[in-house]
Amino acid sequence: MNFQKSLLLVGIIAFSASCVERIQEKEELKIYGSQEILVTNDQGEEVIENITLRIDSFEVINQDSQIITAANFKDKIYIVDFFFTHCPTICPVMTKNMARIYDVYETDDEILFLSHTIDFINDTVPQLKKYANKIGIYSHKWHMVYAGKENTFDLAKQYMVSAEEDPNSPGGFMHSGAFILMDGQHRIRGYYDGTLEEDTDQLIADIKVLKKENDER
Q: Which region among 58-67, 74-83, 97-106, 159-168 has the lowest average model confidence (pLDDT)? A: 159-168
- pLDDT, average across residues 63-68: 98
How far is C-alpha 132 from the geometric centre of its chain's CA atoms? 18
173: left (phi over 0), alpha (psi -120 to 50) or beta: beta
- pLDDT, average across residues 81-94: 96
Q: What span, in angstroms and rounded, lies between the C-alpha atoms of 79 and 209?
A: 14
Q: Please, what are the domains in the chain?
A: 3-216 (3.40.30.10)
Quick check: 32 and 10 in contact, CB under 8 A?
A: yes
Which of the two residues, 10 and 145, has the higher pLDDT score?
A: 145
**Angstrom distances, CA of residue 32 to CA of 8, 55, 182, 188:** 10, 12, 10, 5
CB atoms within 10 A of CB 6: 13
Residue type, 30: K
Quick check: 151 and 187 in contact, CB under 8 A?
A: no
Burial of 212 (0-12, 13-18, 19+ CB in 10 A): exposed
pLDDT tens per residue, range 123-143 = 999 999 999 999 999 999 999
What pLDDT score does 217 carry? 72
Q: Which region among 1-5, 29-33, 78-82, 137-141 has the lowest average model confidence (pLDDT)? A: 1-5
pLDDT tens per residue, range 146-203 = 999 999 999 999 999 999 888 888 888 889 999 999 999 999 999 999 999 999 999 9
Q: Please name which of 129, 14, 134 lies closest in space to residue 62, comparing C-alpha atoms.
A: 129
pLDDT tens per residue, range 51-63 = 889 999 999 999 9
What is the share, in percent, of the chain residues with pLDDT greater than 90?
Answer: 71
